[in-house]
Amino acid sequence: MTDFAARHIGPDEAAERHMLATLGYSSLDELIRAALPSDDAGLAGVATGGPVPVVIRGQRWATPEEVTAGFAAASSKLDLPLAHTMLRRSLVELHAGDYRLCVINACSAAEIALNDAITARLRAHGLAEAETEQLLRLGSGIAEAFPVYRQLVAAGQSAVSRNRVIDQLANPRNRAVHAGEHPDEAVVQRVIETAGLLVQEAVPLPRPDDILRLTRSRSRRCPPTASGVGSARDTAGPGP
């Protein structure tokens, strides 16, 4: 084996034991327990050999079913809805310490989600694309779009109030964009929480079993090409 291959394949059992001994641990389970907070839900599954969750800093555990569905969606080239993509991008910026950009993208994610939900409802009622675009322009901005969403899509009910949308999304985003303000971490955490509630409420992701059914259906419709995947592209999000 070449030096290059040895470096990239990873350690063998003897090297693993040596590294653990150097760190003062007898097993990988013991190292994991020392590295992760002891009060994290799901940690017992790591030690018992049960379903192993996936850890992402600041997020809940991803279940094995979610991980399987995620790989299936990626293999089938299913696109994540833009609102969810923007929200995840804002989480990356949060952990990177770019709080200003985090706020801008999180608020944009919520606004995109509201507009997508409004568009889907209008088209379901037979409204033409041009008329739908005209109505969306009248409600441009998240503070203006939210009342339309709440009345038209959420039937007057939402986990988030209009005052919360203004205070925790619209105002911080406007200060970040127009005044160049760099918010503190407390403000950013509120923005992320509120944006996350709206995105999941307005454009909920399909359940893992629904994603697996969708990918199986897509593979039957689009036989694999030479690259191993079908040629069509779908979106792993709710239909219109």
Note the pLDDT of residue 163. Answer: 95
Confidence of residue 193 (pLDDT cuts 50, 70, 90): very high
Q: Look at 184 and 54; give whichever has higher pLDDT.
A: 184
Beta-carbon contacts of residue 19 (< 8 Å; ≥ 6 apart): 11
Note the pTM of the prediction, 2 decimals.
0.65
**CA angle, corner 46, sides to 45 and 52, nearest 5?**
75
CA distance 89 to 83: 10
Question: How many percent of the chain have pLDDT more than 70?
Answer: 72
Note the pLDDT of residue 61. Answer: 65
Confidence of residue 178 (pLDDT cuts 50, 70, 90): very high
Note the pLDDT of residue 24. Answer: 85
Collapsing DSSP states into helix, strand and coil, what is residue 62? strand
Which sign, positive or negative, has the C-alpha torsion 160, 163, 166, 169?
negative
Question: How many percent of the chain have pLDDT more than 90?
Answer: 35
CATH no. of 82-202: 1.20.120
Note the pLDDT of residue 9. Answer: 61
C-alpha separations of 45 from 33, 90, 184, 198 in Å: 11, 30, 36, 31
**Where does 63-200 show beta strands of DSSP type E?**
78-79
Tell me the average pLDDT of the chain.
79
